[in-house]
Chains A and B, each alone.
Chain A
């Protein structure tokens, strides 16, 4: 390849080139990615030193080191744990409820023509409506506490899980259903043995979407009407120009979302062990 030639200091000998080139090729994307992030952070940090910021601009500006200090303070003093716990609880309870309701309901609607005909218009209408328009109503009904947050997270996360499960169930292998039926399987066994495992890729994809929606639900609920939570801290900090704290909150949200995506990925790999490995090394 021509790109080996473009690298300075690369050995021209073809004999040992493969190992060096191979090592570089393997680590190249990671090195470039980390390098770029480091560069951006460095430039960001240097901004106040390179240009003179006006007093007004300074008010809205925070360097990475300031943000790091703000983060450190939050964890060191422990002030972050309660709001973080409140946010996590809203997220967790809402998401678990969405799975507990969405998965069985998706299976039921996918398997039963009657149930599908009954609920389909309702679900289509509900799903087409932006979830956030329910917020004022939910605040009215459930107040500023935990439950309005839980419900908005639940509504947001329910539909991706419900709809994906339904699609997965509709695409179940008819032959496999007949196989288990021939061994005397009842509807519950069919769901347990064929339909749900068969729909797993759809369900996991739905779960991934649902997590995003759930985080969004937490953020929005806390921005617009909550007494406590990470979002509340961010809004309060913003109103008092504590930009470093706002950034710190943002970073915590981003890290948690990333971690969750990683967890889903692990779940996916664990559940997909029976599947042929398409990207084989040899």
Chain B
């Protein structure tokens, strides 16, 4: 039985001019279930962000099979959307116009776009900021726009590349809660790349640990904590055991 998102033996080597080749992914395997929240943790530069870009369709792997819903990834598509670490908002567009970017590229008429963007701006708690420009927003607000923009095209899969890394600790905690709420509401499959083990456990159904470069899947940790999750869960023994186990697995890759 084929998984919803299935990667088999995915290989990718970057060949930058004037420098030696960099093997980013080697024999990378992954299975993601439909509707699942899966986090990927791994050492810096292990290729986890690269994999998201491959899945998004921006980078073509050298070899291997990568399918979504049984169909191979051939390029960007409206069934996937990314939330970027550095937000990636177009600075010359207002909040509303940024949220509508994907819809505009789909050729949706302005009236319909507006209906959708209004609903999503409301959902991420930015009502009243529709005509603000990105530079007028805080980091947390910018990433809410990034999230609303990704949700606007109603993708099946949400790819999140360290989306909260640029935020301060409190804002990050708040955004995690928001994200879980939205995920439960919108029923998306989420692939979430992060450096923070705690964040990965708190959010996910499963956490994948990757090896150092060239990146491979090292181990999968099922997170059997009940949902809905709350902040207090982070101080429970179960949570900390998981945290320790994942840390153990990750440590070898960082120190070795």
Q: A-side interface residues toward B, CB under 8 Å?
A: 175-176, 178-185, 189, 193-194, 197, 200, 273-276
Q: Which residue of B lies closest to A200 (CB)?
A: B92
A182 x B82 contact (CB < 8 A): yes
Contact B92 A180, beta carbon cutoff 8 Å: no
Chain A residues lying within 8 Å of B78, measured Cβ to Cβ, are: 183-184
A156 shortest CB reach to chain B, Å: 30
List of B residues within 8 angstroms of A276 by Cβ:
135-136
B84 in contact with A184 (CB, 8 Å): no
Question: Considering the complex, which residues of chain B in the window 199-251 have a beta carbon less than 8 Å from any beta carbon of chain A?
Answer: none
Q: Is the interface on chain B under 10, 10 to 19, 20 to 34, or 35 or more residues?
A: 20 to 34
Which of B101-109, B121-129, B182-190 lines the interface with chain A? B101-109
Could you tell me the distance between the alpha carbons of A95 and B76 in the complex, rounded to whole angstroms?
A: 40
B90 touches A181 (CB 8 A): no
Bound form: Cα–Cα A274–B76 in Å:
29
A117 vs B135: C-alpha distance in the bound complex, in angstroms?
37
Q: Decide if B90 touches A182 in the complex (CB within 8 Å).
A: no
A176-B90, A197-B92 known; A181+B58 contact, CB < 8 A: yes
CB < 8 Å neighbour of B84 from A175, A189, A200, A275:
A175
Show 20 residue pairs from A and B whose CB-CB distance is below 8 angstroms, ordered by the A residue. A175-B86, A175-B88, A176-B88, A176-B90, A178-B88, A179-B88, A182-B56, A182-B81, A183-B76, A183-B81, A183-B102, A184-B78, A184-B105, A189-B105, A193-B101, A194-B90, A197-B92, A274-B93, A275-B135, A276-B135
- Please, which residues of chain A bring their CB within 8 A of the CB of B56? 182
Chain B residues in the interface with A (C-beta under 8 A):
53, 56-58, 76-78, 80-82, 84, 86, 88, 90-93, 101-102, 105-106, 133-136, 153
What is the distance, in angstroms, from B105's C-beta to the closest C-beta of chain A?
5
In whole Å, how far is A34's beta carbon from the nearest beta carbon of chain B? 37
**Cα(A275)–Cα(B84), bound, Å:** 21
Instruction: Count A-B contacts at CB 8 Å.
Output: 58
Instruction: Give min CB distance, A92 to chain B, whole Å.
Output: 28
**B224 CB, min distance to chain A CBs, angstroms:** 33
B6 vs chain A, min Cβ distance (A): 21
Known contacts A182-B57, A183-B76, A197-B90; decide if A274 and B135 are in contact (CB<8 Å).
yes
Do residues B76 and A182 form an inter-chain contact, with CB atoms below 8 A? Answer: yes
| Complexed CA–CA distance, A183 and B152 (Å) | 11
Q: Considering the complex of A and B, which 5 residue pairs feature the smallest CB-CB distances, nearest first?
A: A179-B88, A183-B102, A274-B92, A276-B135, A274-B133
Question: Whole-angstrom distance between the alpha carbons of A176 and B82 in the complex?
Answer: 12
Name the residue on A nearest B92 (C-beta). A274
Give the distance in Å from the alpha carbon of A176 to the alpha carbon of B87 in the complex: 9
Q: How far is the CB of A270 from chain B (nearest CB, A)?
A: 12
Nearest CB in chain A: distance from B97 CB, A:
10
Most chain A CB within a 10 A radius of its CB, from B91, B93, B136: B91
Q: A residues within 8 A CB of B53?
A: 178
Query: Do residues A178 and B105 form an inter-chain contact, with CB atoms below 8 A?
Result: no
Chain B nearest Cβ from A54, distance in angstroms = 63
Complex Cα distance A200/B84, Å?
24
- List, in ascending order, chain B residues with CB within 8 A of A275's CB: 91, 135
Q: Return A165 CB to nearest CB of chain B, in Å.
A: 17
A193 and B90 in contact, given A182-B81, A183-B105 (Cβ under 8 angstroms): yes
Q: Quick one: given A178-B88, A274-B91, are A183 and B135 in contact (CB under 8 Å)?
A: no
* Contact (Cβ within 8 A) A184 B90: no
State A183–B134 Cα separation when bound (angstroms).
Answer: 19
Residues of A within 8 A of B84 (CB): 175, 178-179
